[in-house]
């Protein structure tokens, strides 16, 4: 049995596991390291670096181009939705 506590503000994950020790049940705490920073921003920065051939992962140009097309469609859809709200 385990209990996990995630603190979004402090970006800290603590897991408490109930295990059977030589003297009976015991709780084993474990703190999981989380990379600091805003997750979406970090993901976008990693993607951008990969598109430039930097970083740990390489992204084929075809995949990068398709992802950028999707991002462009999202931006256009948001802009269109905002424009429709203003005219209503």
Q: Where are the domains of the chain?
A: 2-32, 39-87
What digits encode the pLDDT tens for the residues 30-68? 988 777 777 788 888 888 888 788 877 777 788 888 888
> pTM for this one?
0.39
Phi, psi torsion values for 32, nearest 5 degrees: -95, 125
What is the predicted pLDDT for the residue at 15?
93
Q: Under a CB-based contact definition with an 8 Å cutoff, are residues 45 and 62 in contact?
A: no
Question: Is 26 a residue whose pLDDT tops 90?
Answer: yes
State how far the alpha carbon of 75 is from the alpha carbons of 2, 15, 20, 44, 58, in Å: 41, 39, 53, 15, 25
């Amino acid at each position: 049995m385990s209990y996990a506590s995630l603190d979004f503000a402090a970006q800290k994950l603590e897991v408490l596991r109930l295990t059977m020790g030589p003297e009976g049940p015991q709780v084993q705490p474990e703190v999981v390291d989380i990379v600091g920073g805003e997750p979406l921003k970090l993901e976008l920065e990693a993607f951008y670096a990969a598109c430039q051939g930097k970083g740990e992962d390489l992204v084929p140009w075809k995949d990068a181009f398709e992802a950028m097309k999707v991002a462009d469609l999202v931006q256009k859809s948001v802009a269109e939705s905002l424009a429709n709200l203003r005219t209503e």
